[in-house]
Structure 1
Amino acid sequence: MRYGVVWFKRDLRVQDHAPLAEAAARGPVLCLYILEPALWRQPDAAAQHLGFVRESLRELHADLRRRGLRLRLAVGDAQEMLARLHAQAPFEALYSHQETGNGASFERDRRVARWCREQGVAWHEPRPWGVVRGLRERRQWVRQWEAHMAAPQAGLPLRLEDAVVPWAHDPWPEPVSLGLAEAEPPLRQRGGRTQAEAALHGFLQDRSAAYRGGISSPLSAPDACSRLSPHLAWGTLSLREVVQATRERMADPALAGTRQHAGLAAFLSRLHWHCHFIQKLETEPDIEFRPMHPGYEGLREAEWDEARWQALVNGRTGWPLVDACVAMLRETGWLNFRMRAMLVSVAAYPLWLHWRPVGLWLARQFLDYEPGIHWSQVQMQSGTTGINTTRVYNPIKQARDQDPEGRFVRQWLPALRRVPQAWIFEPWRMPPEVAQRAGLRLGEDIPLPVVDLAPALREAKRRVHELRARPEVQAEQDTIVRRHGSRHRPAEQLAGPRQQRRAAQARQQADAQGAFDF
């Protein structure tokens, strides 16, 4: 029997699914999801990711059944599972979205591509969004992104035929068998298409009015942000769906000049940055493992401090806003962008921790972990790209700016509910008699700062700036900008290399902060 296999990865939906549409238009289809233990045992995987995927697969299975198709589940190595299926019932084509994932998924795709060539199986990999494989530089990237987002969504043919191939479903593994021992955040978002559509509708119709001005504070961000990021990361929504729905809503004459229209416009710009950052990993996969700028190799590696690391991951740094953010992550799996950036900055500068272990820890904490965005941003906030302004967040200043009444830190750190307002930003400075009256033990109920903040920040900035000033480090910047810098304005294409570099740097400094805020 001639049929095609549709391999679902991080695209757990039926709507705007180009591989499914292409395969169904050509004949019978076998829909397959492969749960790959080797990928789930990677240090960036978490039980909450697996839980979200399982919820999404249940709904995908139901959506496919309503269309006359079935979803088969296989547990094992992808290439081995495809070979097993091919030996049982040879198929002529494999369909899946192009994936820009972590290093393990990249190597997996290489093995599958080699197997397909050996077996004479055509592997069709349409793009899921505006990331371009094989791109050498960014000159035409914006036009390509726009063309993809403006194109009609992939629609299914009226007649769908399931490939009648016997397949024994493997049992769904327990998270602990995959090395996923950490508990899931009890308040995390739930997976599935229904949840995705509800979040999109609620944001476009109502919550987007608070987007501008509401996404920076951890108090307002949970409602002001779209909360679509896990659904985009795991593919229960396509980015094109979201872009087109946003533009359609903005075209409503009733929204002209309103806060909601302004919020949607700001949101739309961040959808563009979504692909801009994933393109960096697609172009240079090594940024998951090594500094984007090679001159920053060795900056922090030799000075790892285990006590500082434990204070960070256990929410015991002594800085209330930092520790409250860690507590929120443990409970919800989500944090707004400014607080994410602050966590990485605190880890990189006053705590002087290497970005790679910090990035792996946060990948497991973030339900919406998207490798391309994640590693680009971790490096940017750690100061290892070599082309971005050094971003050093002072956690005490951030607390005063974003949580001036201490409501957020009191919500997530119960001990602080007994701290008088005068000491809420620096509770370790409370006079002993004030702490005693509140029934608090400094150093126990209220952790002391793991380092003295002001001198630690000064020393960290000095070391980074000294490295950045070296001629050999500066000489590499042009190469990095050509490889990764945005070309947002067509006029820049006519400018010289120095003008292009300055324009790209200015945009990155002004706009890159919103990559996690969609």
Structure 2
Amino acid sequence: MSRETQPTPDDSPAGGDTGDVADAEDGDGITDVDDAEDVGTAVTDESESDGTACVLWHRRDLRVADNPAVTYATREYDTVCPLFLFDPQFYTDGSLACDARRRFLHESLDDLGEQYAERGVDLVLAHGDPETILGQFVDRGWDVVTTAEPTGRYGRRRDDRLADRFGVTFVDGDGLRRGVDDPRENWSDHVETYFETDTVAPDDSGFGDHGVDSTVTTTAIEEQYDVSPEKTGVPKGGRRAGVARLDRFVDVIRSYPSSISSPSAAETGTSRLSGYLRFGCLSVREVYQRVQRDAPDGSGRSMFVSRLYWNRHYNQKLEDWPGWMDVAVNPVFRGFNRSNHDADLVETWKRGETGFPMVDASMRCLRETGWLNFRMRAMCASFFGYILEQPWRVGADWFYYHLVDADPAINYTQWQMQTGVTGVHSMRIYNPRKQVRDNDPDGEFVYRWVPELRDLPADYLDQPEKTPLHVQSECGVEVGEDYPRPIVGYEAKRQSAQDRFGKLQERASEAMADPEIRRRASFSRRGGPEPVADDDAGDGQGGGDSDQATLGSFE
């Protein structure tokens, strides 16, 4: 039995929001744990239902407002029990989730509990295997309702299993197309309708009295799993914090276009809403409507709105094919660079000790803060795949672990695109030296994250190894001792990448003759490339730094 979906509460192609954590951690790349310990049962024999009650299972949409599953449940059932399950799968050592992301989740759940309390109902928290706990409700006559969300790996297997066993109702309402032969047909019109349709709210009938008690708290979960975030500067999770951040961004959106490429400017000049969208504290639709209503007209507003379409675009990709998280979409590139895997080289990249200051600063920033602007994420991925010649998924999983806003749909599709394994995009090899000159000319970002270069004049930060010896002596920075020389020769590796990918281009294009592969790899109705560019060729911003395209590009 496939997963069942219900139409949006108002029967229009509009709906919910975007998530981001993997059910609050999502397809986290974990392995199944067969004997997860349950810390309580959440439901008792006194909680029998005659078929008029449902469990509203929150995973990533951690809000009440503009949540189509909330609207559906309160409209269709007399009694609704909002429930979040702490799945032990996402707290194991093998889980791709840093403690900072777990803390963001817990803060978002505390906020969600307050949202429900304002409506006179308790959010129930339980810990254990979802199949076991939901089964306890189903055995007592409760139905299970949740949102339909793109996911992969463990999350996909779990959802399919629960749909088969319990007949879970997955409420469709996030702007994505499901259950149609060609999701791309009229896609932009569909998403635009979703954005423009009024947001939804709980039905006036309310939630009833579910009579179910929580068996655990966020504090108890943090103590049990020793959740101790070490990252700094991480925003607080939850809807209230997200709304406040949205308020601030609307006031400064004019500066958005000039802030997106520079990592220092992006820290304060971009919306920083990605984590709140990832966890569903805010819906993509309500952010769209707030910006369209209150932000001043101009390039900042139009550019940001285009990002919201791209958010839905990449989530549609994962919804259509969950394999994005695991294998190259183009079969010609499956296993590509696997024979080159060098654990020492990868560790050097992870530590930010490659000898390329912009890469090193970005990798250290990622590890320390759990955030990085799009251009630096793309540069690090490009460097990892093209220049270091390492297998893309190793790098993608590292980013997914550290990013507080890690969205599987965006992270893994972008990693495949930025490392060239889709086979349908023009090669884009970011030049990390050019990135210093263009986006950190005064060295603000590099000096902050690579303090061993702080005394080196900014003119030499693009290539410290070229600093004259007398300058090194005068400023007290010895390249090769205080800061490493480049671990690879950039020009030679760049040429090697062009040669290697060039030899496979014909085969990669032939693979696109398969209609199914072509649909997965490209969102163009003609199967053509999405807009990307060679960084050395100019200022093309690729999949996220510029206005990029009209809505027609999504069809």
CA contact (8 A) 2:330 2:423 kept: yes
| Normalised TM-score (structure 1) | 0.88
* Alignment match, 2:199: 153
* Cα distance in 1 for residues equivalent to 2:465 and 2:224: 42
Match of 2:393 in 1: 356
Quick one: distance in 2 between partners of 1:128 and 1:411?
Answer: 43
Distance 1:455 1:276, change over 3 A: same
Correspondence for 1:167 among 207, 213, 221: 213
- 1:70-469, aligned counterparts within 5 Å? 70-87=122-139, 89-91=140-142, 93-117=143-167, 123-137=168-182, 138-172=184-218, 183-204=229-250, 206-249=251-294, 255-256=296-297, 261-469=298-506
For residue 276 of structure 1, give the secondary structure of its aligned residue in structure 2.
helix
Deviations 1:450-479 (A, max 9, x none): 111111111122111111133xx2212243
When structure 1 is superposed on structure 2, of 29-38 and 404-413 the one drifting more is: 404-413
| Distance in structure 2 (CA, Å) of the matches to 1:474 and 1:227 | 37
1:38 paired to 2:89 = yes
User: Judging changes above 3 Å, is the alpha-carbon distance between structure 1 residues 463 and 175 closer, same or farther for their aligned structure 2 residues?
Assistant: farther
The alpha carbon displacement at 1:143 in A equals 2.1
Segment of structure 1 superposing worse, 478-487 or 367-376: 478-487
What is the CA–CA distance in structure 2 between the aligned matches of 1:81 and 1:207, rounded to whole Å?
Answer: 45
> Take 1:210 and 1:144, find their aligned partners in 2: how far apart are those partners?
30
Cα gap change, 1:406 to 1:36, in 2 (>3 Å): same
Q: 2:80 maps to which residue?
A: 29
Q: Which residue of 1 aligns with 2:55?
A: 5
Q: Provide the TM-score with structure 2 as the length reference.
A: 0.82
Code of the aligned partner of 1:132: R
**Which segments of 5 or more consecutive residues in structure 1 lack a partner in the other structure?**
118-122, 493-499
Deviations 1:314-351 (A, max 9, x none): 01011111111112112321111111000000101111
* SS of 2:149 mapped into structure 1: coil
Report the Cα offset of residue 246 of structure 1.
1.9
Which of the pair is proportionally richer in helix?
1
Work out the CA distance in 2 between the residues paired with 1:70 and 1:55.
16
Q: CA deviation at 1:440?
A: 3.0
Residue 514 of structure 1 corresponds to: 544
| 2:196 maps to amino acid | A
Paired residues of 1:243 and 1:268 also in contact (CA < 8 A): yes
Contact 2:335 2:391 in 1 (8 A): no
8 Å CA contact 1:188, 1:331 repeated in 2: no
Using the TM superposition, name which of 213-222 and 335-344 deviates more. Answer: 213-222
Q: Which amino acid aligns with 1:474?
A: S
| 3-state SS of 1:29 partner | strand
Is the 2:523–2:530 contact (alpha carbons within 8 Å) kept by the matching residues of 1? no
Residues 366 and 135 of structure 1: is their aligned pair in 2 closer, same or farther, counting only changes over 3 Å?
Answer: farther
1:17 to 2:47 alignment: no
CA distance in 2, matches of 1:516, 1:236: 26
Query: In 2 relative to 1, CA 466–227 (structure 1 residues): closer, same or farther, beyond 3 Å?
Result: same
Matches of 2:394 and 2:232, distance apart in 1? 24
Any idea what SS the aligned residue of 2:404 has?
A: coil
Distance 1:96 1:246, change over 3 A: same
Task: Give yes or no for the alignment of 1:53 onto 2:94.
Answer: no
Q: Secondary structure at the match of 1:220?
A: helix
SS of residue in 2 equivalent to 1:94:
strand
Which ranges of structure 2 fall in alignment gaps of 5 or more residues?
A: 1-48, 534-539, 548-555
Give the residue type in structure 2 aligned to 1:482: R
* Residue in structure 1 matched with residue 29 of structure 2 by the alignment: none
Could you tell me how far 1:135 is from its partner in structure 2? 4.5
Are the structure 2 counterparts of residues 351 and 430 from structure 1 closer, same or farther at C-alpha, using a change threshold of 3 Å?
A: same
CA distance in 1, matches of 2:135, 2:101: 27
CA RMSD of aligned residues (A): 2.3
Deviates more, 1:414-423 or 1:268-277: 414-423
Q: Which amino acid in 1 is paired with 2:66?
A: D
User: Which amino acid is the alignment partner of residue 54 of structure 1?
Assistant: H
Structure 1 residues 456 and 415: alpha-carbon distance in aligned structure 2, compared to 1, 3 A threshold = same
| Post-superposition offset of 1:507 | 4.1
SS at match of 2:82: strand
Counterpart Cα distance in 2 of 1:516 and 1:194: 29
Contact between 2:330 and 2:521, CA under 8 Å: does it hold in 1? Answer: no
Q: Is the 8 A contact 2:318 2:409 kept in 1?
A: yes
Does the CA-based 8 Å contact 1:337-1:516 persist in structure 2? no
Structure 1 counterpart of 2:509, from 474, 494, 513: 474
* AA aligned opposite 1:501: G
One-letter code of the match for 1:383? Answer: G
- Are 2:375 and 2:545, in contact at CA under 8 Å, matched by a contact in 1? no
How many percent of aligned residue pairs carry the same amino acid? Answer: 31
